[in-house]
A = this chain, B = another copy of it.
Amino acid sequence: MSQGKKRKNSGRVTLADVAKLAGVGSMTVSRALRTPDLVSTGLREKIDAAVAQLGYLPNKAAGALASSQSDIVAVILPSLTEFATNEIVLALKSVLEPAGYQLIFTASNYDSQEEEKQVRALLQHSPAALILPGTAHTSQTLKYIENISLPVVELSALTLTPVHINVGVDHHASAYQLTKFLYMKGYRHIGFIGAYTNFGRFAMRLAGWQKAMIDHDMASHRLVLGLSEVSFSVGAELLMDTLARWPDLDAVICSHSELAAGLILEANKQGVKVPEQLAIATFEDPNLCNTLQPSLTTVDIPYADVGTQAAEALLQALIAGNRDKVVKSLGFRVKTRAST
């Protein structure tokens, strides 16, 4: 019974088993599976039959080790629960999975320390590429990704110092445009409410709003609320208090759709007329914003495009094997709805 072996094999069917059954060398089986054109028809058929008969499944860990390349693409997202996430994930998958890549997702929860941990964990799987948010990284994270010779994609936010591929939207400009849009509509007392948990975007949008306020001589009418949490109810609780404190206020920009939704629901309940008494505008989630009554004016951000373009640029880099810097800034547009 004891085979005198030092090591038990894992029990799985291996390349060698297939080779033996097909009566060929294992190298030929390996070729038949990866580059069938290099194997003669006769052998290929025998091998295919053997593979089917044994139900052979290649062991990718072994393949990755031997060839020092894998089909894993590691993706770090800021959060798993946001509208944008879903769009981006679907887009990435639709491009990268057909090309034979496996995606691994994790979330940093807008915490750069957590991101660093995730990067460390993911790099141990020697992925073919790394996709992560375009927001602030720790110096250790930067060290990891700069030392490593694999394509890196920074997503969603445009960076000043892109590592390699950077696809995103200029959040500063979008907030600027939204503010300007409200100004054109005649609003003069435009507040900004956001959550700084969302580190990158909050700051950029805030800055964009601020610049627009100054450029349009509204600098004296400033309300900024920085929250530590985002939800319908936080938005709802805010409304009456904010109106009481800033009676001049005629419009509000929310950094998150959920906040804006909370405001609207509460306004309906309290009899505050939107947009007559208060205009509300926000970013991103068209589904939610359309469902609400009145519907919400937003800056539509094409997150699906962010994902698609990022994936395509990545695929090119993967195929070409180059590390050329690619920066793509995607458009956005203010989508006027009933709330302004």
Contacts and interface: CB of A to CB of B under 8 A. Distances in A.
A126 B81 contact: no
Interface residues of A, number: 48
Nearest to A288: B291
Given A11-B149, A61-B125, 20 more contacts: A57-B144, A58-B124, A59-B124, A60-B124, A60-B125, A61-B70, A65-B65, A72-B125, A80-B86, A80-B89, A81-B86, A93-B107, A103-B105, A104-B105, A105-B105, A261-B291, A265-B291, A268-B293, A288-B291, A291-B292
A102 B102 contact: no
A27 interface: no
A232 interface: yes
Interface string A133-145: 0000000000110
Contacts of A144: 55, 57
12 contacts: A57-B124, A57-B144, A59-B124, A60-B124, A61-B125, A62-B65, A80-B89, A81-B90, A102-B122, A103-B105, A265-B291, A268-B293
Shortest beta-carbon contacts, A-B, top 4: A10-B68, A61-B64, A60-B124, A61-B61
A62 B125 CA distance: 9
Most chain B CB neighbours (cut-off 10 Å) among A57, A62, A106, A293 = A57
A65 B61 contact: yes
Contacts of A81: 86, 90
Given A123-B57, A125-B61, A126-B61, A104 B107 contact: no
Interface in A260-305: 261, 265, 268, 287-288, 291-293
A55 B105 CA distance: 23
A125 B107 contact: no
A59 B10 CA distance: 19
A124 B11 CA distance: 14
Given A62-B65, A90-B80, A261-B291, A143 B104 contact: no
A121 interface: yes
Interface in A58-91: 58-62, 64-65, 68, 70, 72, 80-81, 86, 89-90
A97 interface: yes
Interface in A232-260: 232
Nearest to A60: B124
Interface in A90-113: 90, 93, 97, 102-107
B106 A125 contact: no
A53 interface: no
Contacts of A228: none
A142 to B, nearest CB: 12
Contacts of A61: 60-62, 64-65, 70, 125-126
